[in-house]
Structure 1
């Protein structure tokens, strides 16, 4: 019986060394989770055991250290959760390895060609709709289309010390500088992305009273006789210089330009004041923009993939989802740093970073292996001594049998 006991011990110690060797070999594998061996004794209806068996190899799903990634699509998870991926056959896998890249079609894949899953942004502007399906994320490589200006803001101070203009003598005319006190420019864009320069003229007509006029200098609006048409707004201020006009919106209109739709929107002037200081405007702006080419993309800390464009705009492309299990230890190891669902793991819970029992996802980070090299070296020494000790029991039993055989 000692032979079988010692042999079982040799087999168990050998498998334990295999586990240690695998841990050490993967100590630099991104997202790798170390394993630990579990032993169980063997009895066969007697008080003396029959040896040892390997009850299983358990995986340690504690976090590895998050370090800087090398790619704009690198991601790391802190806490519970796995990346959800599908292969070309539609099979689903889970991983903690956040090394991703894009393929020739713009799909986000890992080094084995599996597709990273998440929510795809759709619509104009792209958003993630409630109830959107979970599937492979694709990064569009085309040009970002132009967006026509549909609104804008203009805030600032009008100098109360300015001299009021006699509008009867000098009716408003952009070509006559004596007919207005100040002029400010704001850029706008039409439906084709053509840039329009809008001039806003301010005319002081009396104490605490001004008029604002808008004119599109790129494609001026004209009447049936070809005369320019200007939009105007009366601005009234109280004795403290606060605007009392309601609503304080100056219309901006233009003619069509190079085939684009005419501009027709309002500049919100809420926040304009009148004080005894130099007239100044605080960066007037509109919400339109020209077309743009993609400069690159990055992953935010909530898993959103956001692209930046040459027109200065950013756009949501998709959002990575995470999956978690009631019993991660029940997952089946599939190699390539991947696991698959089993009845023992339970069904996955799918969601975005930081929700429910899911951990946090960080863009530009990678999770290192959680292997403790110091502990593994100690384990290796222990299992080596265990192997030697079991070999010694076999040797001792052999010597005892040899003694019996030699009896005369």
Structure 2
């Protein structure tokens, strides 16, 4: 069979994957803390019909003759650039300005990481995310007494509140997880990430210390998806898919001509 037909099939599969990723990016254009994904391709092995030859005393060198056998999926990378800030004026809506991730934890269970800073107070006054995971501070879960009159969150992550007697108290300080390669984190759904061997976890850091990121209260970091870029990529992926279908159609016509030689 023609090698071009199999090359076209591999191209169609790859562009379908690219369209899947683009569709997911567009679907999450308004998702809090979402980080867009990017697809790259690689060529498959090439069939060598003539090997390379070095120069001799009487004749110069000859390059190898190779025919490519299509393409394959290279990477699907998460791009952790900063998303734009949306002001909400809700003190429990937090934006990380810089690198780092919020640390969330089930009680005595799995640790998660996120850039989505939409938090709430549960019935015990603990700060939790929409899934009920506890926001972690320097001393574990952060809890604001239920009889507190008001509270505020500083840019260094310190949470202060006014108690029933009118005195200012500190509820705790938010810490951020540091990763040398945040693109290596594994998406777990619900705006959550899990650590992986390639994420380069460097432990937790205190906001605004030693160049660490700051925390902005009253705003949310939105998705970093650029719709104009995604639509452009979608058009090129669609055209690439169409071109590969044309390769298959043309290869099929050639095979049909070979079959018709018998007549």
TM-score range, shorter chain: 0.7 to 0.9
In structure 2, C-alpha distance between the alignment counterparts of 1:70 and 1:103, rounded to whole Å? 19
1:100 and 2:105 aligned = no
**CA, structure 1 residues 33+137, in 2 after alignment: closer, same or farther (shift >3 Å)?**
same
Shift in Å at residue 308 of structure 1?
2.5
1:140 and 2:145 aligned = yes
Shift in Å at residue 296 of structure 1?
2.3
Q: Could you tell me which of 362, 366, 378 is aligned with 2:220?
A: 366
In structure 2, C-alpha distance between the alignment counterparts of 1:336 and 1:92, rounded to whole Å? 14
Contact 1:43 1:50 in 2 (8 A): yes
Structure 2 unaligned spans of 5+: 49-65
Describe the superposition over 1:135-179 as per-residue Cα deviations: whole angstroms up to 9, x where unpaired: 22122224xxxxxxxxxxxxxxxxxxxxxxxxxxxxxxxxxxxxx
Shift in Å at residue 3 of structure 1?
1.8
Equivalence for 2:19: 17
Contact 1:295 1:308 in 2 (8 A): yes
Shift in Å at residue 44 of structure 1?
4.4
Residue correspondence of structure 1 range 207-222 to structure 2 within 5 A? none
Structure of larger gyration radius: 1
Equivalence for 2:52: none
Contact 1:33 1:60 in 2 (8 A): yes
Under a length normalisation based on structure 1, what TM-score does the superposition of the two structures give?
0.57
1:302 and 2:162 aligned = no
Q: Could you tell me which of 128, 146, 169 is aligned with 1:109?
A: 128
Paired residues, what number? 243
Q: Could you tell me which of 183, 208, 215 is aligned with 1:329?
A: 183
Shift in Å at residue 310 of structure 1?
5.6
Q: Could you tell me which of 21, 26, 29 is aligned with 2:28?
A: 26
| C-alpha RMSD of the superposition | 1.5
Shift in Å at residue 342 of structure 1?
1.1
In structure 1, C-alpha distance between the alignment counterparts of 2:185 and 2:239, rounded to whole Å? 32
Shift in Å at residue 90 of structure 1?
1.2
Shift in Å at residue 298 of structure 1?
2.2
Q: Secondary structure at the match of 1:349?
A: strand
Higher helix fraction (1 or 2)? 2
Q: Secondary structure at the match of 2:201?
A: coil
Structure 1 unaligned spans of 5+: 120-132, 143-293
In structure 2, C-alpha distance between the alignment counterparts of 1:107 and 1:310, rounded to whole Å? 17
In structure 2, C-alpha distance between the alignment counterparts of 1:338 and 1:356, rounded to whole Å? 26
Q: Secondary structure at the match of 2:12?
A: helix
